[in-house]
Amino acid sequence: MKTLTALSLVVLLSGAESFDSFWQTFKTAVSKRDVETIARLSKFPIGMSYGIPGIRNKVQLTKRYRQLFNEQSDAAACFNKAKPEMDTANPKHFTVACPDAAGNEVVIYHFEQTRTGWKLTSLDNINE
């Protein structure tokens, strides 16, 4: 039993370390508007909130970049300060909340650990 618990802890910690690496790469890509890297680090379709059609591929990501990262919040500035929060019910999910101009955290980015690594999966905008 001790071996299983220790192994579970190692797997959990290595997942956290890989998220840290992912997060550094992702936030740098957003700050540089590096759509190639963002697309590679995303799981399509990227879900959008309140009936807004999801972003299906890199071409749409390029066209809708502003909608995803700049419309309600300045994601690049937010990501430089924000601390990702692990979902306590599921350690394979993280969120990052970003504020609007008034300082209210209204845009929530969702990330998920997939078989191919961590990926951006969706955005919730609680104002819409």
CATH of the domain at 108: 3.10.450
pTM summary value: 0.84
The total number of structural domains in the chain stands at: 1
Enter the tokens of residue 82. Answer: 């924000």
Task: Give me the pLDDT at residue 16, please.
Answer: 54
Residue numbers of the domain that contains 110: 2-125
Residues of the chain with pLDDT under 50: 1-15
What pLDDT does residue 63 have? 97
* pLDDT score at 82: 93
pLDDT score, position 14: 46
